[in-house]
Chain A
Amino acid sequence: MNITPQPIPSLAGTNKWLLGAALLGFLLLIYLVAVDQGFLLSLVQGNIAFDQSLIHELTHDARHAAGFPCH
């Protein structure tokens, strides 16, 4: 068998800030649309955010239709 070693792709020349920002953007957006039960707004609203769960209620229909777990 003749296997030529493949060079490991290096990230030299890659804009690592852009790469990091893209991954961070992915995590933030998926958290908002699929997970949040009031935590994010509780940072500004206080405890009432957990009762209102504004982001959850706003994205409610998308959360259900996309198949994410919901109340």
Chain B
Amino acid sequence: MNTVSLGNVLKAALLAGLAAALAAAAFHSLVTEPVIDQAIAIEEQRSAAGDPPGAPVVSRDMQRIGLWIGFLMYGFSWALLFGTLYYLAQRWLPGSDASKQGLALALLGYWAIGLMPFLKYPANPPGVGDPVTIGYRQTLYFGLLAITLIGAGLTVALNRRFSRSANRLRGRWLTLVFLVVFSAVVYFAMPGNSDPVQMPMSLVTNFRVLSLMGVTLFWSVLGLGFARFVRSSTAGQA
């Protein structure tokens, strides 16, 4: 079984992360920024009645550029984790070549890092979260992330174990059943987000749909991009 060197894996992952970050940032700056503006307008209206807001530290125009900076960090960050895990686990990942194994890991990453946190703690526009509970909400969010990452590791291990048994197809099904049961247990066992949503629900729903689309776009481009780049880096080795 061929193994791709760490340098080549990271190169492919970072290139794919860059592409995924640019795609997600472009998507959000086009369609999500107007929704964020609406939410901020409501937030400011609300606080205008109470204490006067201080001058913003970072202007809205700068925050629109910050969206791109933030997504570049987001893209490189997940790309580095993706590349490291791919390198360490590549011989256990399902798939007949490096590209297909990359797609399998991206699918698992989408489940663990994109989908599960979104389902349990859906994204909110500005003006929803209570600043006082930010520490608690961050603990829950990253706690869930740690659990789903462990779940992803178990899924790879189980799939590997089952695929060596006589009935391969049954093994795949058992792995899928494990993933579904694991998701359900984690979903119902973790405490929910306690903050009340004091925004028009239509705006919040709108924002959440766009956020999920962005996450889906990000992991699609990351997976497909990695599959493409890792293939060209292994072509030279063969």
Contact = CB atoms under 8 A, between A and B. Distances in A.
Given A15-B7, A22-B83, A61 B70 contact: yes
Nearest to B118: A67
Contacts of B71: 62, 65-66
Contact of B84 (A23, A30, A61, A69): A23
Interface string B79-111: 011011001100100000000000000000000
Contacts of B57: 52-54, 57
A33 B70 CA distance: 6
Contacts, number: 144
B121 A65 contact: no
Interface of B: 6-7, 10, 24-25, 28, 32-33, 36, 56-58, 62-64, 66-71, 73-74, 76-78, 80-81, 83-84, 87-88, 91, 117-118, 121-126, 129-131, 134, 137-138, 140-142, 164-166, 207, 210-211, 214-215
A65 B7 contact: no
Interface residues of A, number: 36
A34 B32 CA distance: 18
A1 B58 CA distance: 64
- 9 interchain residue pairs of minimum CB distance: A62-B70, A59-B70, A29-B77, A67-B123, A69-B137, A57-B58, A26-B80, A61-B67, A58-B66
Contacts of A35: 138, 142
Interface string A37-71: 10000000000000011100111111111111111
Given A26-B77, A33-B77, A57 B63 contact: yes
Given A23-B84, A61-B36, A66 B123 contact: yes
Nearest to B139: A69
A61 B134 contact: no
B126 A70 contact: yes
B129 A32 contact: no
A70 B63 CA distance: 14
B134 A66 contact: no
A9 B91 contact: yes
B156 to A, nearest CB: 13
B91 A57 contact: no
A33 B73 contact: yes
Nearest to B210: A65
A66 B215 CA distance: 7
A67 to B, nearest CB: 4
Contacts of B83: 22
A12 interface: no
B73 A25 contact: no
Given A64-B207, A65-B32, 7 more contacts: A37-B134, A54-B57, A57-B56, A64-B124, A66-B214, A67-B123, A69-B137
